């Protein structure tokens, strides 16, 4: 979708300089963009276990060491992938719609994108935004939406962080096995929990992770929405 393009003609853009006018370099077989899309494809095909620098190099028909001319570490590649994925997070509704629905769209799409990429979460969570331009653009769109909705400025960042923390934790939850709450042989010694799990299973046909996410998200929406000015 639209998401987070923006960044109007940034002069010192850190990414994507396809060709050099002033000259030194030579032929270009590899660049950060190609590495990023190849990495994303490889992860899609082989998962994060199969995602190695050697495997990545192989899909690009290149020696592993060649990657290090464009990227300084495997973590660097993960940062590129993370930033790329963030552009799939839906922030469109922050420009026009009501705040609650904008947050819902954003939160669900954010969770859905990264529930398939949970190994990136430890990377995102501590990554300076300056190293991830598309992520920064997402924050700008969300901040603008919060401001438009009447949030006091000093509460905007903590509120976004609270939502994000919930989203990241919930992304892990999506990947949990269905029988994660099965107490097995110890069920007898945990009666309250065991019966609560039973009632859950008897409940709706919705996926448990979705029920919990909806419940928590609506609670956060109500509680944090109250911070807005009248």
Partner DNA sequence: CATTTTAAATGAACGGCATTCATTTAGTGG
Partner DNA sequence: CCACTAAATGAATGCCGTTCATTTAAAATG
Binding site for DNA (CB under 7 A): 1, 5, 20-31, 50-55, 57, 61-66, 68-70, 72-75
> Should residue 63 be labelled a site residue for a copy of itself when binding is judged by CB under 8 A?
no
Beta carbon nearer to DNA, 26 or 230:
26
Q: Does 16 bind a copy of itself (CB under 8 A)?
A: no
What's the chain's Rg over C-alpha atoms? Answer: 21
Residue 208 in contact with a copy of itself, rule: CB under 8 A: yes
Write out the two tokens for 41.
């494809």
Q: Which of 181, 205, 228, 229 binds a copy of itself (CB under 8 A)?
A: 181
Which of DNA, a copy of itself, none has residue 218 at its interface (CB below 5 to 8 Å by kind)? Answer: a copy of itself
157 binds a copy of itself (CB under 8 A): yes
- 3-state SS record for the chain: CCCCCCCCCCCCCCCCCCCCCCCCCCCCCCCHHHHHHHHHHHHHHHCCCCCCHHHHHHHCCCCHHHHHHCCCCHHHHHHHHHHHHHCCCCCHHHHCCCHHHHHHHHHHHHHHHHHCCHHHHHHHHCCCHHHCHHHHHHHHHHHHHHHHCCCCHHHHHHHHHHHHHHHHHHHHHHCCCCCCCCCHHHHHHCHHHHHHHHHHHHCCCCCHHHHHHHHHHHHHHHHHHCCCCC
CB of 85 to DNA, least distance (A): 19
CB of 136 to DNA, least distance (A): 24
CA 32 to centroid of chain Cα atoms: 20
36 or 115: CB nearest a copy of itself: 115
The closest alpha carbon to 99, from 135, 53, 147, belongs to 147
* Residues in region 90-129 near a copy of itself by CB under 8 A: 118-119, 121-122, 125-129
Among 1, 29, 63, 222, which residue sits at the site for a copy of itself (rule: CB under 8 A)?
222
Task: Tell me if 212 contacts a copy of itself by CB under 8 A.
Answer: yes
Rule CB under 8 A: say whether 164 interacts with a copy of itself.
Answer: yes
Binds 223: which of DNA, a copy of itself, none (CB < 5-8 Å by kind): a copy of itself
Cα–Cα distance for residue pair 158/154, rounded to 1 Å: 8
**How many residues contact a copy of itself, by CB under 8 A?**
81
Rank residues 180 and 229 by Cβ distance to a copy of itself and give the closer one. 180
- Cβ proximity to DNA, 25 vs 177, nearer residue: 25
């Amino acid at each position: 979708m639209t998401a987070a393009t923006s960044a109007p003609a940034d002069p010192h853009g850190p990414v994507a300089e396809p060709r050099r006018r002033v000259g030194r370099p030579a032929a270009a077989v590899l660049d950060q963009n190609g590495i990023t899309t190849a990495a994303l494809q490889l992860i899609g095909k082989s998962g994060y276990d199969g995602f190695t620098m050697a495997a990545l190099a192989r899909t690009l028909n290149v020696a592993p060491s060649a990657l290090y001319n464009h990227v300084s570490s495997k973590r660097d590649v993960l940062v590129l992938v993370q930033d790329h994925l963030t552009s799939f997070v839906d922030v469109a509704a922050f420009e026009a719609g009501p705040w609650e629905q904008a947050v819902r769209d954003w939160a669900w799409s954010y969770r859905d994108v990264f529930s398939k990429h949970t190994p990136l979460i430890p990377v995102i969570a501590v990554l300076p935004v300056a190293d991830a331009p598309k992520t920064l653009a997402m924050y700008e769109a969300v901040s603008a939406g919060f401001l438009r909705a009447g949030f006091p400025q000093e509460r905007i960042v903590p509120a976004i962080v609270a939502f994000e923390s919930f989203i990241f934790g919930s992304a892990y939850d999506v990947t949990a096995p269905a029988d994660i709450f099965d107490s097995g042989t110890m069920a007898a010694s945990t009666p309250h929990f065991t019966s609560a799990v039973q009632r859950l299973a008897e409940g709706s046909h919705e996926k448990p992770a979705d029920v919990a996410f909806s419940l928590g998200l609506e609670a956060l929406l109500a509680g944090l929405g109250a911070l807005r000015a009248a």
